[in-house]
A and B are shown apart, each in its own frame.
Chain A
């Protein structure tokens, strides 16, 4: 079986497994099967990446040759994202078991089935070469995610899920309208085919409208300011495991699809010319960086704090994109990967705190550094990474982002990037100070260190943050290959 035939199973295994898991009784079995499915998916994605970096892989479903049938088309860019999504899912699952047992005490089959659906959806979006397929998978993952968020034990989770549902549906509808316009004008749904046919109709209002609709629709999914309103509550009230998973994957995939449309389907010399896209993205990115970090500095609820920090970090990625240079795109892809590592580690640490103390208000963390030293140290170390301290993954992102900004002589951007990094120092430092530099008030309960089943995965993520801060061959190599693909031949390139 060669790699091209194997590749679709990265999506199919979770999809099929979800049907099985939904029927499984009890708690251990569903988790085990889910983990196995995610792991297989990650292994396949890992095998795909080197092959896809060399040549673009194409798999026609049902042997219907594209553009008639649906095609999976994988190059350096989406192989990288697929690997990220599936491996983050596997890592999150390691952490999930203890946490989910607490938060979903009932039969867990349906819960994990939804999770697998969400995962399959995200992977499907990433790997497919068909525009309508993107929409279908987006809906699959979104619907599953709404339900997962609603699993949260806090009653506000229902409202958060509902809000997410409304906003998410608007976003998906916009995307669908955009794709419909494109289909109307080109008569094809295959993205590579679309890219070839678009130049003939490029100067029509419908195509311009399609671009705008798609960007707004995906902007909602991406939580790009000011379309981020669903995110803080959804992250804050979802079960911790769901937050951990979403923080590392969902927005990343949305960013990838947006890039795919902007750069490959429309081509940069179109999308950045007919719309003032570079300016719009840059302004929104900077606004997101600032507003997100600013609000995060004053959050009392730590999951909300990290959620707002995510809004800011999405800003960094979009900023890289808005420069429209190879360096900028490399920085965006790098941060896409690194931020997934950072945020997952941070949410795991905070989730562990919540597991032990049943609270994540910053005031309830006072003096916790002595009672849960390992958890809080993990948080602090992952915090270093989000600040961008050297030897962490976050530093590599910042390095490339600043380098990209210097490259285009955008000095003010350099200033803004470092300034928002300082804001990250503030919101991380608040927690560190509360945990270590304050005495634990007498009225707060004494807690013990968390169980190893939560600690070990958290520390694994922290270790990965440092590993990818030191060994950058995989990340930088894959990110620059992805950036080349986006700016270069793209989907129109040769396929075997």
Chain B
């Protein structure tokens, strides 16, 4: 921790601004690939250092609220760091660093063009995610949430084919529709009834609104957070899979979707408050919608032959774990939900990296084509196995701990049905995540394909082994996210 204290503290505004500045620099260097790639590196490294620079002051309790702008009296754009936000910041900054070489390698070897726009938008998305992580009130969160939606649109539509455009249109339409039609009115409603939009540990709504009104707010907020992919507003995530794989990996397995569940957690803990959540009229309704999403998405994932589509539906399902964790209104479940953000982030990005590496090395996109591939791509498929185990929640991978706490939380809250749903869902996880690995290692290569090792370029393989290693490390160092989550309740 002493080393962390040596890092400069550039303030929360600095942390949020950094990726945006990086994006400008990258866009200006668009015509010079070498410089552009260097700037991608610089931005992601600087961002990680800036985030780490926040840790020491945070632990010392020196991290304070920063008001950037006052829009109306009491209505501000303001930043404040709290434990949950720090988890999200650490997650996205560390994975951005690992995704940078992968993205550079993937885009170069995949023959993509227009990379200046691509990497600039990539950086903006990370900046927006950082803004969400440190926002101190609902309005600030909303601003960065929308920046995140809009900045990822060009990434999804990157190839410009009519298929990509259709997918991107569905993507942006659903995200904007839910946020503007549900989230925004809910936020203004909170403002109208409490006169405040600030995040306060323990919530701001208790005693200010009736339980019925709060119930409607909850429904609006939860469905309005389209990025958390609650059914029936989950279609955007499979639609986003037309994007190049680095986008699917970092954004649609980590930054964007984790922003969604982060918003859900933040709302549950800092706007509604766990105690109030228990009293709210139909919080069980949201809980069961999330449980339904969790199971249904798993069932759909089982029937997807396209590897990326399968992973996408798996993400939809895993996001609902976190929503369920937030809605259970139990401290343990909320801790589990916060930890699952990290665990699933590391696991799923590994899986997506692998899917991209497979595509680069062999142009294969279907699960049924993976037969015997473990012999040609041992590193990739090995990492895939670790990622899958992490998402399922099997030791010695980090996913165990988050699911452990989620299940204990469900037990704690006395929700037997949810407990059963967790268990069934874990079985379903196994049923759709392990077959690709089993095919790759146990089945022979199809006739006509030569053996011998043919991995993707090392610049792509190294990051995916690192994220897989990270997933293993998280098994041993799960105390870190646990401790931070526990601090939320102090």
Contacts and interface: CB of A to CB of B under 8 A. Distances in A.
Do chains A and B stick together as partners? yes
A391 B72 CA distance: 11
A419 interface: yes
A402 B146 contact: no
A424 to B, nearest CB: 10
A421 interface: yes
B165 A437 contact: yes
B135 to A, nearest CB: 12
A433 B142 contact: no
A389 B146 contact: yes
A402 B69 contact: no
Given A391-B143, A437-B160, A439-B160, A418 B169 contact: no
Contacts of B177: 422
A402 B180 contact: no
Interface in A29-85: none
Interface string A412-430: 0011001101100100010
B180 A403 contact: no
A472 B71 contact: yes
A390 B142 contact: yes
Contact of A402 (B143, B160, B185): B185
Interface in B115-158: 139, 142-143, 146, 154, 157
A319 to B, nearest CB: 15
Contacts of B165: 433, 437
Contacts of A470: 69, 71
A403 B72 contact: no
B478 interface: no
A438 B164 CA distance: 11
Interface string B167-196: 011001100110011001100110110000
A415 B184 CA distance: 11
Contacts of A391: 143
A476 interface: yes
A203 interface: no
- Among B142, B168, B184, B189, chain A packs the most CB atoms within 10 A around the CB of B184
Q: Is the contact region of chain B dominated by helix, strand, or loop, or is it mixed?
A: helix
A407 interface: yes
Interface residues of B, number: 25
A425 B181 CA distance: 12
B181 A403 contact: no
Q: Is the contact region of chain A dominated by helix, strand, or loop, or is it mixed?
A: helix
A64 to B, nearest CB: 44
A362 to B, nearest CB: 15
A403 B143 contact: no
A437 B163 CA distance: 12
B188 A402 contact: yes
Contacts of A407: 192
A452 interface: no
Contacts of B69: 470
A399 interface: yes
Contact of A403 (B146, B160, B172, B192): B192
Contacts of A439: 160
- Among A403, A414, A425, A437, chain B packs the most CB atoms within 10 A around the CB of A437
A401 to B, nearest CB: 10
A43 to B, nearest CB: 28
B153 to A, nearest CB: 9
Contacts of B192: 403, 406-407
A414 B181 CA distance: 9
A436 B121 CA distance: 14
B429 to A, nearest CB: 35
Contacts of A396: 71-72
A382 B215 CA distance: 36
A258 to B, nearest CB: 27
Nearest to B193: A406
Interface in A375-411: 387-391, 396, 398-399, 402-403, 406-407
A396 B71 CA distance: 9
A425 B188 CA distance: 20
Nearest to A402: B188
Contacts of A403: 188, 191-192
B160 A418 contact: no
Interface in A212-264: none
A439 B157 CA distance: 13
Contacts of B142: 390
A432 to B, nearest CB: 9
A439 B164 CA distance: 14
A422 B157 contact: no
A396 B70 CA distance: 13
A406 B184 CA distance: 12
Given A406-B188, A422-B176, A472-B72, A437 B181 contact: no
Contacts of B157: 437
A399 to B, nearest CB: 6
Interface in A442-483: 470, 472, 476
A425 B176 contact: yes
A476 B180 contact: no
A72 to B, nearest CB: 33
A422 B172 CA distance: 11
B180 A414 contact: no
A418 B181 contact: yes
Interface string A96-139: 00000000000000000000000000000000000000000000
A406 B189 contact: yes
Contacts of B172: 429
A390 B146 contact: yes
A461 B172 CA distance: 27
A104 B139 CA distance: 47
Nearest to B157: A437
B71 A422 contact: no
A421 B185 contact: no
A383 B294 CA distance: 37
B147 to A, nearest CB: 9
B72 A425 contact: no
Contacts of B181: 415, 418-419, 422
A476 B146 CA distance: 24
A396 B75 CA distance: 11
Nearest to A407: B192
A425 B180 contact: yes
A436 B146 CA distance: 19
Contacts of B189: 406
Nearest to A391: B143
A335 B425 CA distance: 50
A407 B143 CA distance: 24
A441 to B, nearest CB: 14
Given A403-B192, A437-B160, A472-B71, A390 B180 contact: no
Contacts of B168: 437
A387 B71 CA distance: 18
Contacts of B185: 402, 406, 414-415, 418
Given A403-B192, A406-B188, A476 B160 contact: no
A286 to B, nearest CB: 16
A407 B191 CA distance: 11
Contacts of A436: 154
B23 to A, nearest CB: 15
Contact of B180 (A421, A433, A437, A472): A421
> Which 9 residue pairs of A and B lie closest in terms of their CB atoms, listed nearest first?
A390-B143, A418-B181, A406-B192, A402-B188, A414-B185, A437-B157, A418-B180, A421-B180, A437-B165
30 contacts: A387-B180, A388-B180, A390-B142, A390-B143, A391-B143, A402-B188, A403-B188, A403-B191, A406-B185, A406-B188, A414-B185, A415-B185, A418-B180, A419-B181, A421-B180, A422-B180, A422-B181, A425-B173, A425-B176, A425-B180, A429-B169, A429-B172, A437-B154, A437-B157, A438-B160, A439-B160, A470-B69, A470-B71, A472-B71, A476-B72
Given A406-B185, A422-B181, A425-B176, 19 more contacts: A389-B146, A390-B143, A390-B146, A396-B71, A396-B72, A402-B185, A403-B191, A406-B189, A414-B185, A415-B185, A419-B181, A422-B176, A422-B177, A429-B169, A436-B154, A437-B157, A437-B160, A438-B160, A472-B71
